[in-house]
Structure 1
Amino acid sequence: MSPVAIGLVFPGQGTQRQEMGAPWRDTEAWSLVEEISLHAGEDVEELLLRTDADTLRRTDLAQLAVFAVAMMAHREARRAGLPAEVAGCAGHSLGEYAALVAAGALSLADGAALVAERGRAMREAAEGSDGTMGVLVGAPLEKVAELVDGLRAGGAELWVANLNAPGQVVVSGSREGVEKAAVDAPGVGAKMITLPVGGAFHSPLMAPAAERLGVALARVRFAPRHTPVVANADARPHDGDCDWPALAVRQLTSPVRWEESVRTLTEELGCRRLVELGPGRTLAGMVRRISPATRMLAVDGPKALETLAEELAEALAEPPAEPLAEALAEPLAELPAGPRAGQEVSA
């Protein structure tokens, strides 16, 4: 059976909030909390129900909490009728780990352990450098790239970190570098929104975290075949014939190419609907800017499951989508390449 034209997307750090697990407490999926706690070495129930908002901003805790909610949302969506076979998955930064578990590339146990190790490694790397991030809103990537390249040529530590959507590019670097970008932003028609993060994520300043994560990834087995997952690092769909550890390490120090990833899901993999699984609706907003014609549904709590069931019934009645790769007369390799860099306001 061909996969239905549905893609799954998973949010990243920045979507956490106090008591974010409360809506899921009475669902069957709540049993996942104990399993994730066991493999992550952290009391996830405490994070989801009783941890205050300020504490939950801590990188390692935020990432684990968001991952847990995403996994519960996915489990309940499956119970509501989401088919096991979908066209593709993707996750924004941290969300890539939830996508890998949902796609069958990683076990839940390995996913939880990796998320915990990744969060701790990123927190330690951030403590070793005075880094931060900011969103440049209103300017195209080309102008932002020119601004960043010019400041870095002048000695600033500054890089493009996330390509979220048209007119929304996240930069990352030293606090001084991001402050300089804020001063110069009007010159390229942009406005800077500083992000309340404790590190320069998705930049070379995360190299110590990447090295530590690489050690953990080497101990994990990825499935040889699985549902395609569009990787942040290259915006390409991978179904097992790839080096996921290398892609995951690269993700920590290079841009999240989210806009390209969404286009890969909707155009190349033929996804007519995208379902966001996890806290908040951040990705739904981005998708609507990237691909307005794509139907989008956010499952951010059990109340959304009824709407999901209705959408699924309609989707399953549709004829299979024809992926762009098959519809085009010319091979994809001959198409112009998209921008070579890519974030949510997450890690």
Structure 2
Amino acid sequence: MSSMTLLFSGQGSQYVGMGSAWYGGFSEADHIFEEAADILGYDLKTLCMEGPISQLSRTSYTQPALLTISVIAFRRYMHDVGIIPEFSAGHSLGEYSALVSSGVLSFGDALRVVQERGRFMEEASEAGLGCMIAVRGADLNLLEELCDHYSVTSQPITIACYNSSYQYVVSGHHASVAAVAGQLEQRGFQITRLQVSGPFHSPLMQHAADRLALELQKYTFHEPLWPVISNVTALPYTDANSIRQGLHLQMIHPVRWIQTMQYMEKHGVKQGIELGPRTVLKNLAKETNIAFEVLSLDRDLDRIELERRFSIRDWLVKPLAVSVSTPNANWNEDEYHKGVILPIRRLEDLLKSIESGRSSSAYELRREALECIRLILQTKQVSAGEQEEVLDLLRRDQDGAVSNFN
């Protein structure tokens, strides 16, 4: 059982040059950018690196860009850290990145979906009927009462995002949003008008949501490698149909991020890793008083801490020490050579490859090391119960993080 969760940010976290601090020199990033360019029909890497920000901030470009950067971040995480999480979750658009990370959608299919999703949302916003505001410090009951009071069928307004205990986002028709904003400002609450193209996560996106539902039927959804939390229910998805329905409903329902974080905390998560640009989700976690810490790949000090806390070299020393120190009860020389000597030599080779900089991904190293130690324990005729106890201890990484390798 892992105590790790992977978190993926959504629209609004984009900036020119995003990701350049951590994917430089990572060859897989270039392959992902090339695949994205082939699918999208334009040079996404240049757009991300050089802008202009006016184009990068257009919904139809923002969404493919953020998905791509987030997938590169995930691949970098697996290469450098390689611990399988207990959950993954993404904020709004970030849910697609979470689904890719868990193997539900291929990167190519997810990119095609979000390209259309962004286009549908942009076209739905061209009428200019709605907007979004961020509200800080307001009591949730008051905010819900104001939205209920000013929302009418022709001019709906709703809470679009339950971001943290101190921040909510309101979305809807211009007139209704203006009325609620005026009431909140009179009471001294901080209001920020968001620079987005439309009233996302509100009933005004119904047409775009229905178009997306048809688009989602074109793609194959696979069983997740680990649970992905739904924005709509703040619970893990149960099957492919629930994922399609959740992505459809997400367009017109609020993002329940507070409840998502609370669910993961309740189910034993001790460490969150934010994969993507900026530190939005790290900051929201602090504001919600979640017991577990979030480290962001896009923050220099956090990347250093990730390398220290989850050093694959430091971890690999442990199975090597266990393989040598575990008592042997098997005196068959041939079995001992094949099942103990050779796996120990392989562990030594893995350690040398890390120290020489020639190692493969941390994910593959962790998996192979545990396979070696399992074979050694079996060959030495350690009891099944003791084998699992040792393997469980080895799955535990520094600071209580756990790897899900079997």
Bin for the TM-score computed over the shorter chain = 0.7 to 0.9
C-alpha separation in 2, matches of 1:319 and 1:272: 7
Match of 2:305 in 1: 307
The answer to whether the 8 A contact 2:9-2:274 is kept is yes
Q: Classify the secondary structure of the residue corresponding to 2:51.
A: coil
- Closer/same/farther in 2, CA of residues 317 and 21 from structure 1, 3 Å limit: closer
The answer to whether the 8 A contact 1:182-1:191 is kept is no
Runs of 4+ in 1 over 6 A off after TM superposition: none
Match of 2:291 in 1: 293
Find out whether 1:46 has 2:46 as its counterpart. Answer: yes
Code of the aligned partner of 1:82: G
C-alpha separation in 1, matches of 2:227 and 2:99: 9
Code of the aligned partner of 1:108: F
The residue correspondences of 1:157-306 to structure 2 (distance < 5 A) are: 157-186=156-185, 190-238=189-237, 240=239, 243-268=242-267, 270-300=268-298, 304-306=302-304
The residue correspondences of 1:71-110 to structure 2 (distance < 5 A) are: 71-83=71-83, 85-110=84-109
C-alpha separation in 1, matches of 2:289 and 2:270: 10
**What is the aligned length?**
317
The answer to whether the 8 A contact 2:4-2:401 is kept is no
C-alpha separation in 2, matches of 1:156 and 1:210: 18
- Closer/same/farther in 2, CA of residues 154 and 250 from structure 1, 3 Å limit: closer
C-alpha separation in 2, matches of 1:192 and 1:303: 31
The answer to whether the 8 A contact 2:270-2:400 is kept is no
Code of the aligned partner of 1:67: L
The answer to whether the 8 A contact 1:231-1:247 is kept is yes
C-alpha separation in 2, matches of 1:260 and 1:312: 28
The answer to whether the 8 A contact 1:161-1:170 is kept is yes
The answer to whether the 8 A contact 2:265-2:290 is kept is no
- Closer/same/farther in 2, CA of residues 152 and 299 from structure 1, 3 Å limit: same
Q: Which runs of 5+ in 1 are unaligned?
A: 322-347
Overall identity of the aligned pairs, in %: 31
C-alpha separation in 2, matches of 1:210 and 1:276: 27
C-alpha separation in 2, matches of 1:208 and 1:310: 48
Match of 2:20 in 1: 22
The answer to whether the 8 A contact 1:39-1:110 is kept is no
Code of the aligned partner of 1:44: L
The answer to whether the 8 A contact 1:73-1:301 is kept is no
Q: Would you tell me which structure has more helix in proportion to its own residues?
A: 2
Code of the aligned partner of 2:87: G
Code of the aligned partner of 1:74: F
Match of 1:316 in 2: 397
C-alpha separation in 2, matches of 1:283 and 1:164: 9
C-alpha separation in 2, matches of 1:175 and 1:204: 13
The answer to whether the 8 A contact 2:296-2:303 is kept is no
Q: Which runs of 5+ in 2 are unaligned?
A: 316-395
C-alpha separation in 2, matches of 1:181 and 1:226: 43
Find out whether 1:9 has 2:7 as its counterpart. Answer: yes
1:147: Cα distance to partner? Answer: 0.7
The answer to whether the 8 A contact 1:129-1:205 is kept is no
Match of 1:342 in 2: none
Q: Which has the larger radius of gyration?
A: 2
C-alpha separation in 2, matches of 1:29 and 1:177: 47
Q: Would you tell me which structure has more strand in proportion to its own residues?
A: 1
1:292: Cα distance to partner? Answer: 4.1
Structure 1 residues 5-49: Cα deviation after superposition (integer angstroms, max 9, x where no partner): 100000001011112243324322322111122233442112212
Code of the aligned partner of 1:295: E
Code of the aligned partner of 2:5: G
1:188: Cα distance to partner? Answer: 5.6
C-alpha separation in 2, matches of 1:9 and 1:73: 11
Structure with more contact order per residue of length (Cα contacts < 8 Å, sep ≥ 6):
1
